[in-house]
Structure 1
Amino acid sequence: MDTAASVTSKALGILAAFSADAPRLTLSEIARRAGLPLTTAHRLVGELAEWGALERDETGRYRIGLRLWEVASLAPRSLGLRERAMPFLEDLYEVTHENVQLAVRDGHEAVYVERISGRQAIGVVSRVGGRLPLHATGVGQVLLAYSTPELQDRVLEQPLKAFTKYTLTDPKRLRQVLAEVRRAGIAVCDRMVDPDSLSVAAPVFGPPDGADAVAARVSVGATVVAALSVVVPSDGADRLGLVPAVRAAARGITRVLGGVSPPR
């Protein structure tokens, strides 16, 4: 059993060696980043490539394979949510023609499960499958605001990364902002993760579902399962004009999920 667990851990370490900054790696780079002997890395990479979790390009470097993406796309937290949310994300995009994003919480991070972006939309640092800390983004602040006090304490006890000079890194000030997000049901993050962008985010509610739902329950029948946002250029942004559209999209997704939006 220990050997099997060790092999599994090593294989997962190989997959974890890849990142947005390093999507293609040589075998030597994989071995170094995973902390494995070259011979072990060679054997495991070969097995992962044979199964389809990794692919080898024309330069001899490895990248994540389509088989792994196919399996990951079946994750229940994103599959049903994305399918039901997509019509409302598309409607919000048609209204704004800017970046529309959908995220869920995983630990202390927001994981982006869907995004719609046009050619003229402002560039963003997020990507589908990517992660950002909860304190610095609109969707993250929404997810954090509706989490338990215990989770908020754990997040705020850790050093908070500053992406720009506007990022909230003072725990006391961030607590005040989270309380306002929960009161208003909306988060506005201006230049906190990117110096040129502003995001407006709102919570998506679903029906209570086990321990995770209890942790996020706002009132009877109200559970935050995701957050959606629109990201626009900060300069000249009509934040007040964006709020109704974002709220409407979030409520639409909440409705099809069978959730209940608590009164503000």
Structure 2
Amino acid sequence: MSAAGPARSAAERLLSVLGAFDHGRPALTLSEIARRAGLTLTTAHRLVAALTDWGALERDESGDYHIGLRLWELAALAPRGPALREAAMPFLEDLYESTHENVHLAVRDGRDVVYIERISGRSAVGVRSQVGTRWPLHATGVGLVLLAHGGTALQEEACAGPLTAFTPYTVTDPARLRSMLAQVRTTGCALSDRQITDDAVSVAAPVRGPRGEVVASVSVVVPVAGAPAQTLIPAVRIAGLGISRALGWRPPGGTGLPSGGKPIAAR
């Protein structure tokens, strides 16, 4: 929103300063903050000074500003952040040790998936995900799981588009997407084939909270040219079940695996 637009509250202006930073531009000058936040230089200077004094921003020796540690401390209080990661980490490590491929833990934020943990090795297939980055739900394995369990209203909103294509394989047809979501709910896992990059496949499964609601998703991303991704489904399901149990969920009368699911070696 530009300075010439409708008047914004003090809180909105402060948040616009913080929102000027992203993974593409983690360091900004004062003038860049003003431009990206849609503020006058004078207003930006006053707000940046206040945020720096409080610790939400930090200034380096070159004069550029960065997000400050005070915000990291506050973020640690988020129930879908460090607490979830701490419960999940033993199972993410087990999944990584059995595959030596990229392992992700992600949560939903609106129509996006946000990655809150990632483990990868030097020999793992290249991925574009990083901790803190977000991608549209329809284009990732973890996103498909979260969308499939996100309720009818969210699914219809997502299917109404736009469904952005990142590769020729990205699902952009609403009817096909609905079919995929139904399959995720039936099988208990998602298979995202070359939707973000054309050399990787993601296998994902849900993570449930104490009441059985899907609160996150776990996945492993493997190269298309490697072993069939389907062989990883039991290992990813088991990781999701383990994290769910650590969060307090107890599946009614069974292992929590869909019928026919049988643990096998991941690799």
Q: What TM-score, normalized by structure 1, do the two folds share? A: 0.90
1:106 alignment counterpart: 109
**Residue identity opposite 2:40 in structure 1:** P
* 1:124-166 Cα deviation digits (max 9, x unpaired): 1111111111000000000011121111011111211111111
Render the CA deviation track for 1:201-240: whole Å, top value 9, x for unaligned: 00111222xxxxxxxxxxxxx3111100001112224212
Q: What does residue 230 of structure 1 align with?
A: 220
Counterpart of 2:133 in structure 1 is 130
CA RMSD, aligned part only? Answer: 1.4
Whether the 8 Å CA contact 2:124–2:222 is kept in 1: the answer is yes
Instruction: Work out the CA distance in 2 between the residues paired with 1:118 and 1:251.
Output: 24
Residue number among 197, 204, 209 corresponding to 2:207 in the alignment: 204
- Identity over the aligned pairs, expressed in percent? 62
By how many angstroms is 1:44 displaced? 0.8
1:144 to 142, 147, 153: 147
Structure 2 distance, partners of 1:152, 1:82, is 26
Name the structure where helix makes up a greater proportion of residues: 1
TM-superposed deviation, 1:50: 1.6
How far apart are 1:262 and its partner, in Å? Answer: 7.2
Give the letter aligned to residue 165 of structure 2. A
Counterpart of 1:216 in structure 2 is: none
CA apart distance, 1:188: 0.8
SS at match of 1:76: coil
Which residue number in structure 2 is paired with residue 182 of structure 1? 185
Give the Cα–Cα distance (whole angstroms) in 2 for the partners of residues 136 and 116 of structure 1.
20
Q: Deviations over 1:32-63 (max 9, x none)?
A: 01000101101111111122111112221111
How big is the shift at 1:244?
A: 1.4
User: Following the alignment from structure 2 to structure 1, what is the Cα–Cα distance between the partners of residues 162 and 133?
Assistant: 21
Aligned residues between the structures: 247
Residues in 2 aligned to 1:43 and 1:193: alpha-carbon distance in whole angstroms: 40
Alpha-carbon distance change, 263 to 244 in structure 1, aligned in 2, over 3 angstroms: closer
Q: TM-score, normalised by structure 2?
A: 0.89
Structure 2: give runs of 5+ residues left out of the alignment. Answer: 1-7, 260-267
The gaps in structure 1 that reach 5 residues or longer are 209-221
Assess if the C-alpha contact under 8 Å between 1:82 and 1:113 holds in 2. yes
